[in-house]
Structure 1
Amino acid sequence: MIIAFEPSDTILSVCSASRFWWKPFLAPRFWPTWLLFGFLWLVTRAPFCWQMAIGSSLGRLAYHGASGRRHIAEVNIGLCFPELPGHQKSELVKAHFRALGRGVVETALCWWGRDSQLRQRMILTGQHHLRRALEAGKGVILLSAHFTTLELGGRLLALDTPFHVLYRKHKNPLFETVMQRARQRRFETAIPHEDTRALLNSLKQGMPVWYAPDQNHGGPQSIFVPFFGIQASTLTTTARLAKISGAPVVPFFQTYLSDLERYLLVLCPALDHFPGRDLETDTLRINRLLENVVREMPEQYLWVHRRFKTRPQGDPYPY
């Protein structure tokens, strides 16, 4: 098999804005990250069926090797799906790790995949909902959640619609540099998650902003509302941002359809009468919406995150 090397697709070109950006990352402590990047770049040049098979295999290895994360996933799935028999819970955990492994490859495709190849993998529906919401001139909050397909879903949507994206910095500086440069190439603007002013400025410019508020951050911007029937510390930021900016909230979700080897991207109608008068009711509404989507593709939700680590006073720590 002959691999065509295109300059625009190489690892180094992801950070081409600075010619010698890589020099600070030649120390031996970064070598494993370089090896990982090299491996993943090569995987993105393989046939798609191989990519998914390699990703699933990585997930199987992680299932056996990452016992701590497996325990978190088992606890989360046990709490959220108490009605499932034990063997079905176990199968769901295994399926989730396979999806996690594919997510690693999908992230590499987000960074280094060719547009022409990715377009063949995309089924996009509901664009008219986003266009209609943008007509108000207030921007749009693209409400999403942490699914294993999150990174690639954003890249695929960017092939059709320009938007800005919030991100959280990575602890590994080499990983952060490559990821940030890739996002700057693929999205119009990448905004640090704590930079509320930049987010509001993007909305004022009439831009959609991609936002996923479903992780447990605790702190004064969170309240306890049910998620799968369990009191979960949940960010109230979606309703707050919508109220301050006047931007409509358009839910956006993506899922991998294994039988079709395609990614279904769904833009939903903007939330009616949102935000309301009650912040708690608005936040619960978001959680119920996300819960319904998770139930449709439970293996692709990020169960290895400690979603219930912050507890109401007196509740035991579940992990």
Structure 2
Amino acid sequence: MARASEQPLWFPQHWPSWIGLALFWVATRLPWGVQRALGRALGTAVYYLLPIRRHVVHVNLRLCFPEKTERERRTLARAHYHSLALGLFETCNAWWTDAVALPRHRLIGREHLERAIALGHGVIVLTSHVTTLEICGRIMTENFKFGCLYRDPNNPVVAAAMRRQRERRMTIAVHFDDLKGLIRALRAGHAIWYAPDQGKRTKQTEILPFFGVPAITNTATSKLAEMTGAPVVPYFGRREPDGAYTLTILPPLESFPSADPAADAVRINQLIEQQIRLAPEQYLWVHKRFKARGPGYPEVY
């Protein structure tokens, strides 16, 4: 018998997912202030009633913010769940809302990406995994011709909806495991959203500090830049307390790549850390950033 993920999406076992998407579509018709309130309520409920990966979040915060008190970290964890839940509403707005109805935002440093794109060598748009990924990505596509790396969610209905939106709004979508496809896209001149902050063991990883804690770290950014000639332009988006969004594009990394891919990766980690500290609740702390580090490293989860 075919697995659920291989069966047609109109089969009954997928109906709950379709209903869930429909409810979120309806929610995007509500005023933005109401959606923010619903997101906060949903985040609180999940944190206390359905503690999905709550232990992972607390471990990550303890490792990355040892200077904070336990009470401060628990407050930050709750704020993270609010941010996660609001990210669901933001994702649906990113998929289904007209450009004129997108939330208030400001774009800083547009000229850095425009100049990099004009060079014609492609652009590695360096960023990180945050809860505002989808809404800020949609805002970017309204301002630039933009491609991305992607990974399908486990839910096939959500994966299909996400792919549809990628194909509609992005210049190209490359699977995160398709290194050759990524190189072709950059050489063809695409600006590609690229987040190297989630590590898994490959030939292009090393154990390097992230917030001072050893973590599997992607060192492939240097190789990509060297092989394609693409400049590396950092970009970060965050949600402001008043509900607006700030998207900041920084100048291309200077003297990059160097002769030391590990040093380059540490430099990127430090840049990401700086941005996380501006809005720490918005980073994706549910990810097991310090897992599977190998012999000599304790299992922290």
User: Is structure 2 residue 178 aligned with structure 1 residue 169?
Assistant: no
Within the candidate set 90, 98, 103, 1:114 is matched to: 98
Alignment map for 1:25-104 (pairs within 5 Å):
25-104=9-88
2:215 equivalent in structure 1: 232
TM-score by length of 1: 0.90
Kindly, what percent of the aligned residue pairs are identical?
A: 42
- Partner deviation per Cα, 1:151-187 (whole Å, 9 max, x = no partner): 1111110001011111001222221111100111121
Residue identity opposite 1:267 in structure 2 = I
| SS class of match (1:252) | strand
1:303 equivalent in structure 2: 285
Alignment map for 1:279-290 (pairs within 5 Å):
279-290=261-272
Distance 1:178 1:228 in 2: 35
Within the candidate set 236, 246, 256, 2:229 is matched to: 246
Runs of 4+ aligned structure 1 residues displaced above 2 Å come to 65-68
- Cα offset, 1:304, TM superposition: 0.5
1:17 equivalent in structure 2: none
| SS class of match (1:24) | coil
- Cα offset, 1:68, TM superposition: 4.4
2:273 equivalent in structure 1: 291
Within the candidate set 182, 187, 199, 1:199 is matched to: 182
Distance 1:173 1:312 in 2: 32
- Partner deviation per Cα, 1:73-99 (whole Å, 9 max, x = no partner): 000000000010111011000000000
- Partner deviation per Cα, 1:129-152 (whole Å, 9 max, x = no partner): 111222322111000100100111
Compute the RMSD of aligned alpha carbons: 1.3
Distance 1:143 1:186 in 2: 19
5+ residue gaps, structure 1: 1-22
User: For the Cα contact (< 8 Å) 1:239–1:275, is it kept in 2?
Assistant: yes
- Cα offset, 1:312, TM superposition: 4.1
- Partner deviation per Cα, 1:181-206 (whole Å, 9 max, x = no partner): 01111212211111222222221222
Distance 2:151 2:238 in 1: 22
User: Is structure 2 residue 161 aligned with structure 1 residue 178?
Assistant: yes
User: For the Cα contact (< 8 Å) 1:164–1:187, is it kept in 2?
Assistant: yes
Within the candidate set 247, 253, 258, 1:271 is matched to: 253
Distance 1:150 1:71 in 2: 23
Count of aligned pairs between the two proteins: 295
